[in-house]
Copies of this chain bind each other. A is one copy, B any other.
Amino acid sequence: MKTTFGEYIRFHRNKKGLTLTQLAAELNLDSANLSKIENGIRDFDEKRLSKFAKIFNLDIEKVRDEYITDQIGKQIYETNCTPQLLRVAEEKAEYRRTLRNKTV
């Protein structure tokens, strides 16, 4: 089952038997803020992704994928983007790639 990135963090934290305070300390943030992150009230700062991966011995690429799919999934949800519109968005992303190649 696909989950939010906050739930993903919580899953790994519980699996390792860490408290919010313990993990927050390792990540250099407040336990209150980590709580909000796990509950989807705040975003996890991208800068901490590698630290997170190291703590739980996870592949950094996998963690990053988990992160960006969460971010984009959130935007799809918030904008009520339908599957058809998402196809269009995908084409536009492709178009931006062609723009990059033209300009250089």
Contact = CB atoms under 8 A, between A and B. Distances in A.
Interface string A69-97: 11111111101010101101111111111
A92 B68 contact: no
Contacts of A91: 2, 73
Contact of A92 (B2, B79, B83, B90): B2
A97 B80 CA distance: 10
10 contacts: A2-B94, A2-B95, A4-B95, A65-B88, A72-B75, A72-B81, A73-B91, A74-B92, A76-B93, A77-B92
Given A68-B81, A68-B85, 5 more contacts: A2-B95, A3-B92, A68-B89, A73-B89, A73-B96
